[in-house]
Amino acid sequence: MINFLYKILLTFNSTSLLLVVYWIKEQHLINWSSISPKLANIPDFVSYGIYFFIPVLLTLFSLWLAKFLDNDNIDKSKITEVEQANNAFLPSYLGYFFVALSVTHCETLIYIFLILFVFTYFSQTLYFNPLFLLLKYKFYYITTVNGVKVFIITKKSLKNPSKIYFPKLKRINDFTFIDKE
């Protein structure tokens, strides 16, 4: 059950910036005066900052929640190749931003977001959250001696396959792990 909830959270985190960009583009603001008349003069950028801060908080929560995932490891003798994956996902996220900027109706955005959410949930790329980059995480494809390619989220800088060792991995699925060392 924790894996299912974790995957839902990671999926939302990785697609939520689409909503943030749309809300900023539409200049949708928090109605501060409905909370308190004293808050009526809060600048617009505060609303936009809160919109951005919510995915950041959820990303931090997902990193904390990872400690409850199943443990795993990859021994350095089992790794034959390492490939950086950070830049491979950039076109997808630029596409999300262009979609958010071009959508004119909120209802359309909801349908597009739901479709992206479902596709992202069932794809192997759902765990690429650009907010992880701000938190100094990196993304790698690791190929094992069995020819299996796995996706690793880690703060380590990986270069030499013979020196890579992951004693404290958390398993998100059979091909995706997050390094909690």
**Mind listing the pLDDT tens digit of every residue in the chain (181 residues)?**
788 888 899 999 989 999 999 999 999 999 998 888 888 889 999 999 999 999 999 999 999 999 999 998 887 778 889 998 877 777 877 888 888 889 999 999 999 999 989 988 888 655 778 889 899 999 999 998 888 888 999 999 988 887 888 888 999 888 889 998 7
Each residue's pLDDT tens digit, 5-29: 888 999 999 899 999 999 999 999 9
95: which 2 tokens? 């596409």
pLDDT at 62: 93
Q: What is the DSSP string of 93-141?
A: HHHHHHHHHH---HHHHHHHHHHHHHHHHHSTTTT--HHHHHTT-EEEE
Nearest-angstrom CA–CA distance, 122 and 141: 18
The alpha carbons of the chain give a radius of gyration, in whole angstroms, of 19
For the chain, how many structural domains are there in total?
1
pLDDT at 108: 94
173: which 2 tokens? 């699925």
Nearest-angstrom CA–CA distance, 53 and 27: 16
Each residue's pLDDT tens digit, 74-100: 877 788 899 988 777 778 778 888 888
Nearest-angstrom CA–CA distance, 130 and 89: 9
pTM for this one? Answer: 0.86
**Whole domain around residue 29: which residue ranges?**
2-179
